Amino acid sequence: MTPFSTTTRQRLGILATACLLSVALPAGSAWAQKIKNKDPAPAAENPVAATTSEVTVDIAAIDAVGSNVDEDTLRAIFSGNVVDNADALAGLTADSIAIPEIILNATTTIEGETTEATVTFSDLVLTDVTDGTAASVSLAGMSLDAGEEGSGQFGPLSASSFNIGGVLGLYGLVDAGEQTELETIYTDFTFEGGSFEAPEVSCTMGAMTAAEFKARPLGYSFTDIMALAESLEAEEDEPSPELIGAALRMYADIFSAFESSPTTFEGFDCSGTDDEGRAISFSIAGMSMGGMSPGIYPSISLDGMDVTVENDGSIQVGNITFKEMDLSAPIAAIKGAPEAIDEAWFMANARALIPAFAGFSFSDVAVDVPDPDADGERIKASIGAFDLSLADYLNGIPTDVLTTASNVLVSLPQDTDDEQMQQLIALGVTEIDAGFTIDASWNEADNAIAVDEISITGANLATVKLAGTIANATEALFGIDENAALAAAMSVAISNLKLDVTDSGLSDLILTAVSAEQGSDPATMRPVFAGLAEGTVVGLLAGAAEAQKVGAAINSFVSGKAKYLTIEMTAKEEPGLGFMDFMAAEDDPTVLIGKVTIDASAK
């Protein structure tokens, strides 16, 4: 599968630039001025690399009722000169302010190619504005016209309790006093969606809603942020430790300055053509984002994702969820860092900078794409569900891990060179329906890791499940000191293990194939193999009191009289079987027999 063409991506970039220009908070004077990059290359040396933009704003009329700010100042503000009039805007009081139309014209030159775009805002209305807070703000719609490059139409947008002064204070454009607490910036945000068209792509977007958004003033003014961004760009090859430190502290401040309620988005549907002229479509039925809070990056969930390329392939995903990420540990580490953050500091604090990521999941996945390693072959697979859950981080390591997968369906290619796949196909298996589970957690009080389950399942084949307890797992195992962590790892011990095996048809397949090779039948061969398995186990456990019981259970399982086999092993002495025990068992496995109690059952 291939992406959209380069030309398409350029046009999308132009449309995105025009949209961003239409909503961006200006850093300097009015948008009506020309804006150029900081250090443009001389035209004679590199005329293509120059990038310039010129933006003008036209406001035909402003209807201000009961306003304490005169029309000329309002016109300057809504034309983009927010910085010079920030105090007046923060103290704005009016019964209503209505602007029928704001027309923004942008001329942009990128890589020597000049494009023009016009963004028109219709019926901007603020009502019941008191001391910089509007009871409501609404926009009837917005249109974008970029000529041959594309166009867009966007529906109404509205919000309540819009705290204009709070927005200005957030970026340090007005004095926020000693405010450090979060305050409401707006409530009841709604956007009814829209659409845009370009030569190679067209998209429709659904509605978006959010109940509330809160913020506090940043520790850096808007001017500081822009200056820092310019410095990072100027030193992008090798930024100084002082600059890195300043940038990281700014990011830490930003990530702890906001709070929001969950947000919902009704998705989008795009269609177009790729580099080879094939029709391509990309859609998401819906998206939701969890509530943001200081130091917590919210979860994001996508529903009904579909990517299809004509005469090539498709990928569908019912749901993808990226769970929340706790950034409090990295933020604390950065706040405690020196002014200059160098490579040595990063090496020493690498673990502290790992965020506590809660994991991700996806479900109802269907893939049908060409196999890049085999001409004419296709990769066809589906996944019912997958989940990775991580919790209780200690020094950057999750101490509670649960991952599961179910209904992983894979069709086996008939012309494969893989020996294992060939063996399965020879047994009559043309498709694998598998799943697995890994569930383990560390108990600090007991200094133990509970392995609740490690299992793998093949539908109509077998299920193998292992559980147990790893003792002597001290906190040092997760410590930052690598030598101490290695020593702690060498000291862990297995106190007990339990193996459960369920035969759902695998033994029938194996015995059918083996019997055919021997010129016999499965019914005749089963008791032979069962006897061999029992004799081998009894011989291996010679001297152990449980040998006969274990052998009998295995005989019953292999013979087909039982479909479930359980084998349990418990260490006779605490803390259990350690590293040295297993080292000795490499030369003589029987040395472990006297150190454990073994039990087995079959049914």
What is the 3 state secondary structure string of 72-120? HHHHHHHCCCCHHHHHHHHCCCEEEEEEEEEEEEEEEEECCEEEEEEEE
Mean pLDDT of 208-225: 91
Are 87 and 145 within 8 A, CB to CB?
A: no
pLDDT at 49 over 50: no
Mean pLDDT of 58-70: 95
pLDDT at 28 over 70: no
Looking at residue 347, its pLDDT comes to 93
Residue type, 411: S
pLDDT at 258 over 50: yes
Q: How far apart are CA 539 and CA 363, in angstroms?
A: 47
pLDDT at 31 over 50: no
Mean pLDDT of 270-292: 93
Looking at residue 42, its pLDDT comes to 43
What Å distances lie between residue 431 and 287, 295, 375, 434, 501, CA to CA?
A: 33, 45, 21, 10, 21
Tell me the DSSP string of 262-309: -EEE--EEEEEEBTTS-EEEEEEEEEEEPPPBTTEEPPEEEEEEEEEE
Q: How far apart are CA 595 and CA 584, in angstroms?
A: 12
**Res. 19 pLDDT band, cuts 50 70 90:** very low
**Res. 274 pLDDT band, cuts 50 70 90:** confident
pLDDT at 344 over 50: yes
Looking at residue 551, its pLDDT comes to 92
**Res. 33 pLDDT band, cuts 50 70 90:** very low
- Residue 291 CA from chain centroid, whole number: 15
Token pair recorded at residue 98: 């209505």
Residue ranges in 91-217 assigned as alpha helix (H):
164-170
Picking from 524, 530, 531, 583, the residue whose alpha carbon sits closest to that of residue 557 is 530
**51-55, 96-100, 358-362, 394-398: which range is least confident on average?**
51-55
Domain spans in the chain, listed from the N-terminal domain onward: 1-197, 218-256+262-368, 397-602
**pLDDT tens for each residue of 155-174:** 999 999 999 999 999 888 88
Residue ranges in 415-521 assigned as alpha helix (H):
419-426, 482-491, 506-518
User: Strands, DSSP E only, in 395-447?
Assistant: 397-411, 431-443
Mean pLDDT of 544-572: 92
pLDDT at 37 over 50: no
**Res. 305 pLDDT band, cuts 50 70 90:** very high
Q: What residues have CB less than 8 Å from 527, skipping those under 6 apart?
A: 559
Token pair recorded at residue 386: 């997958």
Exposure of 471 by Cβ count < 10 A (0-12 exposed, 13-18 middle, 19+ buried)?
buried
Looking at residue 50, its pLDDT comes to 53
Are 78 and 92 within 8 A, CB to CB?
A: no
490 HSE (CA, 13 A, CB side): 8
Looking at residue 423, its pLDDT comes to 72
Looking at residue 6, its pLDDT comes to 37
Q: How far apart are CA 99 and CA 392, in angstroms?
A: 53
